[in-house]
Amino acid sequence: MSNTVAHADPHAHPHAHAHHPALQHHFDTMSQQKEAAVIGMWVFLLTEILFFGGLFVAYMIYRVWYFDAFAEASRRLSLFWGGLNTAVLIGSSLTMALAVRAAQTNNRKWTVNWLVLTMLLGCVFLGVKVIEYEDKFANYEVPGANYNWVYHEQHAAAEGHAVEHRPLSQTPEQLQRTTQLYFSLYFTMTGLHALHMIIGVGLMLVITWMAWKGKFDAEYYTPVEMSGLYWHFVDIVWIFLFPLLYLVERHT
């Protein structure tokens, strides 16, 4: 096969000019290395879409089958906390984008500052989530043996609050069963989302430490950008989760 291969070394003198310290040996150039990371990250996000996709399919089917149960159960979520968290996450996406921009422009101090702020907002989100989950446990709204659909109303009545009655197509006994599907999906979806947030914050701790150590410059800031892509993705998942879980027929 004398003609199959010719020898060509794109770097005739590989050590004649200094390589960037972050360039790994199996890549030829920084741009090749960066493109590989970018494609890899997008492919990873694609797998994440398919991962959450299975839950969205289950949600879609049960919402069509048991719409009233979903609408009723959705009212048990707090619009205030959900809305606040939406705002917090969108804000954190902004600070993340600013962190990437700061890294791009060699601004070490602000890279670190924006990253820290992003992590703080992420923690605020998780804290609010804890408050919301706490409320569900207190009201027996966690699916399983202790699930009690009417506890909420009984409790409100016992406290002397007015209980609102809407005409429903399902009896309380039916709702006791079918609303568990809603809360099963609610906890699985928001739980997995929260897990992604925790991973994101952990990731960012490492990136912040690397930025603090001055590992990044205008030529190499791929890790900042990649964790940014991840963070925005987790944000977008919430942008879908919020209306699907909190806003089922809330206009009436």
Partner 1 sequence: MLDTLKIPERHYLNNGHGLASWLLTKDHKRIAIMYLISISVMFLLGGLFAMFIRLELATPQGDFVNADTYNKFFTLHGVIMVFFFLIPSIPAVLGNFLIPPMIGAKDLAFPRINLLSLYIYWLGGVFTLAAMVMGGVDTGWTFYTPYSATATNTHVIPTALGIFIAGFSSILTGLNFIVTIHRMRAPGMTWFRLPLFVWAHYATSLVQVLGTPVIAITIVMLFVENAFGFGIFDPARGGDPVLFQHLFWFYSHPAVYIMILPALGVISELISTFSKKMIFGYSFVAFSSLAIAVFGFIVWAHHMFVAGMSTYSAMVFSFLSFSVAIPSAVKVFNWTATLYKGAISFETPMLYAYGFMGLFLIGGLTGLFLATLGMDIHLHDTYFVVAHFHYIMVGGAIMGYLGGLHFWWPKMTGRMYSEFFSRIAAILVFVGFNLTFFPQFVVGYLGMPRRYHSYPDEMQVLNVMSSAGASVLGLGYALPVIYLLYSLKKGAVAGPNPFAASGLEWHTQSPPLTENFIEVPEVVSEPYEYEHAVAKESHLV
Residue ranges that bind partner 1, judged by CB under 8 A: 1-10, 24-26, 28, 32, 35-36, 39-40, 43-44, 46-55, 57-58, 61-62, 65-66, 69, 143-145, 177-178, 180-181, 184-185, 187-188, 192
Q: What is the C-alpha to C-alpha distance for residues 171 and 19, in angstroms, rounded to an integer?
A: 71
250, 74 contact by CB (below 8 A) = yes
Q: How far is the CB of 31 from partner 1 (least distance, A)?
A: 10
**Residues β-bridged to residue 220:** 217
222 with 191: CB under 8 angstroms? Answer: no
Sequence-distant (6+) residues with CB within 8 A of 8 are none
- What is the number of other CB atoms lying within 10 angstroms of the CB of residue 3? 5
State in angstroms the smallest separation of the CB of 188 from partner 1.
5
Closest separation in Å from C-beta 149 to partner 1: 11
Q: Give the residue from 126, 142, 136 showing the smallest Cα distance to 180.
A: 142
To partner 1, the closest distance from the beta carbon of 102 in angstroms equals 26
If the CB atoms of residues 119 and 223 are measured against partner 1, the closer one turns out to be: 223
By beta-carbon proximity to partner 1, the closer residue of 12 and 158 is 12
* Closer by beta carbon to partner 1, 38 or else 84: 38
CB atoms within 10 A of CB 169: 10
Q: Which C-beta is closer to partner 1: that of 134 or that of 161?
A: 134
Alpha carbons 59 and 245: distance in angstroms, whole number: 9
Residue among 43 and 87 whose Cβ is closer to partner 1: 43
Q: How far is the CB of 145 from partner 1 (least distance, A)?
A: 6
